[in-house]
Amino acid sequence: MGQTLRQQARKQVNEASATRKRAWEEREARLVGAAVEVVAAIVARDKAEKAAATAIGAMTGEQATLTEIGERCGLPLKEVIRLKRTYLVEPPHPHSARPTGQRVSEPRPA
């Protein structure tokens, strides 16, 4: 009879363990799916921002000021400046000590 009780107890423990394991696997699958969505959204955002910055570059090539670009696009000037600084490099100035192609950094606060 002692063996039967042990077998029943083992079966009960195994069933509880299997239930916990299934719940963990389901949660893990949901978390992986959500992580994929996060990364995909960030990649899409970065691509969209690069395209916006390219358009800003084209507009500045047409002699539009950053203020005008912001007004035309309904964007705050800070956003236009951020996109330009983040994704566009300024052409080198003839008397600049900065190497060609280096990303433009933001000015440091005084």
pLDDT at 107 over 60: no
Tell me the HSE value of 65 on the side-chain side, using a 13 A CA sphere: 4
Q: What is the tens place of the pLDDT at every residue in 45-89?
A: 999 999 999 999 999 999 999 999 999 999 999 999 999 999 998
pTM for the predicted model, two decimal places: 0.63
The band of 104, judged by pLDDT with boundaries at 50, 70 and 90, is low
The 8 Å CB, 24+ separation contacts for 20-27 are none
Q: What angle do CA 94, 98, 102 make, to 5 degrees?
A: 115
pLDDT of 30: 98
Look at residue 92 in the predicted model and tell me its pLDDT: 61
Q: Are 80 and 70 in contact (CB under 8 A)?
A: yes
